[in-house]
Structure 1
Amino acid sequence: MIVRTRIFNEASKEFEIVHALLDSAANQSFMASALADRMQLDYHSETTITVTKFGGRAAKKRVKRVTANLFNANGEKMAMEFYTQERIIPPLHLNELSPADKRALNEIFPEVEEIVDRQNITPELLIGIDYFNYVMQLDVPSIRLPSGIFVTSTFFGPVISGLPRHCMEDPENVRLCERVLHAYVTQAQLDFTQDYSDLWKLPNVGIDELGTNEEENDRIVKEFYDSVELKDEEIYEELNRNLYVDDVLMTDTSTASLFHKYRACKKIFSNISMNLRQFMTSDPICNQMIDSKDLTNGKNIKTLGIQWNPVQDELQIRCTLQYDEEPTKRKVLQAVHSTFDPLGYLTSLLLPATIFLQDLWNLKYSWDDPLSTKDSSTWRTICENAAGSIDSHGVTDDGQTAARPNKTEV
């Protein structure tokens, strides 16, 4: 999304309108070097940063740090710190809003003096996640215009995002590179024959992210969610629900459809230069159909940190409740929270231990006070009862118990 801001020019002693790109996927905010020089801003410091481009290419470069006050139309200001960058993104062409959308905007936001469209702009600021939530007025609900695009309130005024309804209803007649970026309507003017990965690269051309590998991975996944347009609708929706960091979890009822999902997932991730691999299913026939270089060869298979046996299609969760010969409240607390159970399968098994810990608080034990003989015996019984296995039964929407229970090893 693009917003219009105002910066005070120390040379001309006047406010100058500057366009800023709002990018929640960027870890830092950036300013074009030419803008910093034109505004005669003071550089606080100069440093070397490591930048990582999409695809893992890393490089070091020298940047300068500046601070600027950005003003909205009401004269209110917001101080921000930026790293300088030679270029934010290439010029963008702003297309014209539909008459119905213009009428709706004039009715909803009568204070807006003009609608910026039908022109070319060059954003000179990028506002990253460090200030993004301060700029966005998240407590104000978004409004949908007649064309299907959404209006969102920000500190600098209303902005528009989304895809017009006619693009969603007739996707065959819409260029794949068409996307809304600007505060009113922006379509990136790209060559239709270029690589589809440019769809998500456009907002960050010239901008290299800062941060750890984990932050970079989070940004990549977010850009995948927000930007990829080439998709199999059914597979994409399932990916959207079942992608957690770098794990994809999906189910199906037949070998053919499961293999189809494997190929569709490979294609979707390949379009954004990501290699989805280490596949494994509980269907031995499907495993034989999967390309050997994509099939996992490890015996220790985990999903969400839980051991999975694909041959028997069972999850194996280890309960680490163990009795200590000299139990204290501290040791009980450590034991209760030592079992990793992100899906809550062992809740019924661990509940007695949790209740026992609450009882220790009510009995006013200090952290390292030895438990009484009675309480120590109770804790021993709880730990012994936690050994073995339990049957976990799924329940369907109509209230009937699932036909195939899953045994959870503990």
Structure 2
Amino acid sequence: MSETAEHLAAFAALLTAEGRALLDEVREVAPGGELAAATRLRRDHSPELVSAALTQARLRARAAAKFGAEDARRMFFTPNGVEQSTRATVAAHRAARFADLGVRSVADLCCGIGGDAVALARAGIRVLAVDRDPLTAAVARANAEALGLTDLIEVREADVTEVDTAGHDAVFVDPARRGGRGRVFDPEAYSPPLSWAVEAARGASRAAALKVAPGIPHEAVPDAAEAEWISDGGDVKEAVLWFGEAARPGAVCATLLPGPRRLLGRGLPDPEVRPVGRYLYEPDGAVIRAHLVAEVAEEVGGGLIDGTIAFVTSDELRPTPYAAGYEITDVLPFNVKRLKALLRERQVGTLTVKKRGSAVEPEELRRKALPKPQGRNAVTVFLTRVAGAPAMLLGHPLPR
């Protein structure tokens, strides 16, 4: 039996009554108790089934952060599926954007374990979910069934380059961005390549979206696309290229979840560099990736502390959802001894270190500057550059 056939057989066994009962039994097994549980369970079940169930339990625990505990406990996963699937909140945002256009059907190409297909179906959209890997397609099919969405999701095992999408309103493509050696950074090394995905998007009846890595170079974005960078809870998750009715060609935006809050690019020139003022603003990662720091600077009436650093400063407090704000108390040249003395003098026991444009590691500075935390006060230190010179900015976070 081939390796693929073995994996399919093991997964099929999990879908039997015996397999599902075993999955329920191992749900609460802690990592440290797996060996004892495996020994006990092998008295009544095959070793292969026990191993598959314990593996699935581990994957479900990992997937809870992306899919929520309730869905994760019912869904099925592969290791790559957990790693590469879209976070449920991000998938729901994208599905809502399709739904707002009146899209009724989507061809989900490179569907993986079906995370985006689930979000689209929950938005009332009919989905053709396609993946060429037999096990991945089987998992996606099982997930549609587990979540009661089989009336809206059709899973097809096929090469996406050979699928006719003409009968669907929209196309969504999520090319694989990992190879045998890890992450793939060249868009033409995606599977399928970005150029193929763009052509598939342009051929969509009404609209299309391509999920790409957030580090995609801006020059690689086609002129016909609208580029959206998305963060969730402050963490940048992905970029999406929109086409057709969903796009304003050439537009750039940053979307912050939860919310959503959407910052649109206005083509502003780079902000001026100015002295550090009373307030410092750290733009959200999606804002930085989208090259929209100038829009934040305009909102807060500020400028940059350095021409190459995405920190905005101003003398006036203007809260914005697109950046975390800090009140700055000290602007110092980089000097560990001076910082250590200052922290001791101010009875600092909690030190948060952020860096941008500095080679010093935050943990290294924390260990040297605050070797024995004892004080009752907290301080945030920014390791950065001010007008080209290494600097330390001390301050406190402002309420969001």
Q: TM-score higher than 0.5 here?
A: no
TM-score, structure 2 as length reference? 0.30
TM-score, structure 1 as length reference? 0.30
Q: Which structure dedicates a bigger proportion of its chain to strand? A: 2
Structure with the bigger RCO (C-alpha within 8 Å, sep 6+) is 1
Q: Which structure dedicates a bigger proportion of its chain to helix? A: 2
Whose radius of gyration is greater, 1 or 2?
1
